[in-house]
Amino acid sequence: MQSMFDFSPAAVAQLAREDAARALAEDVGAGDLTAGLVDPARRAQARVLARESAVICGAPWAEATLRQVDREARIRWLVAEGDRCAADQVVLEVEGSARGLLTAERTVLNFLQLLSAVATKTARYAEAVRGTRAQIVDTRKTLPGLRLAQKYAVRTGGGTNHRIGLYDAVLIKENHIAAAGGVTPVLQAAQRIAAQAAFIEIEVETLAQLQEALAAGATMVLLDNMDLPTLREAVRLNAGRAILEISGGVTFEGLRALAETGVDRISIGTLTKDVKATDFSMRLKDVG
């Protein structure tokens, strides 16, 4: 089950242009004072080097940034989007305005280091559950303003998107249940009021709540912070009626055991929240 944003090439390209424009405005302001020291007619070549092995992600954002400072820049990727690079491998070569390349350098690297880190981490988690039915799913724990970019990176790494935001799907949590008067009333309200939602999911903390949710017609259930025996029993009780998702307390070390309980999805906030940036550098060579 994917989110409402289609992530088609055209949609991603437009998103990348908007993100790049915002990032450059934030960095450049009224003008790049230091790049202004360079002759505007001067051209240069640049190579982007990955300092560590990673799944490359962020090419549309890097290209959008470069095009906004130099429409005529010549861009050549040596590692394709979604492919893994080796440590100390050149992943991108660019030729264009020396001023433009200097201005774009940090923004290009910022996008690549964040999005490649998300894709690389997601790929590691997806590989850990290979052979089970479980999908690795993201959350809304994203950097403000870069949610769609990070969710794109999750997909690039082999993961699946949860809802984009509060507007496209329903996720009923314990506070919603308490405020609405219980599992059955809140599900009935959701089915009545939010029929246009991409999906309606309800969080349960006990097997009794799971059974009540299933009886009320739940088609997607989030099993919150359950231990392995309880998860296995939840899968047995569900008997394929609803999509079952695990959330809460998920670690990489325990991931495989969770997947082997037979659940359909494992949502992991750390895919986009606790990310160690991939190390990239850019080196310029003057070509006159």
- What is d(CA 238, CA 147) in angstroms, rounded to the nearest whole number? 32
Measured between alpha carbons, how far is residue 251 from residues 65, 132, 203, 259, 260 in Å?
35, 17, 19, 12, 14
Beta bridge partners of 89: 50
Tokens of residue 47, six digits: 């190579």
Active site residues: 106, 141, 173, 203, 224
- What is d(CA 214, CA 235) in angstroms, rounded to the nearest whole number? 12
Angle at CA of residue 66, ends 65 and 67, nearest 5°: 95
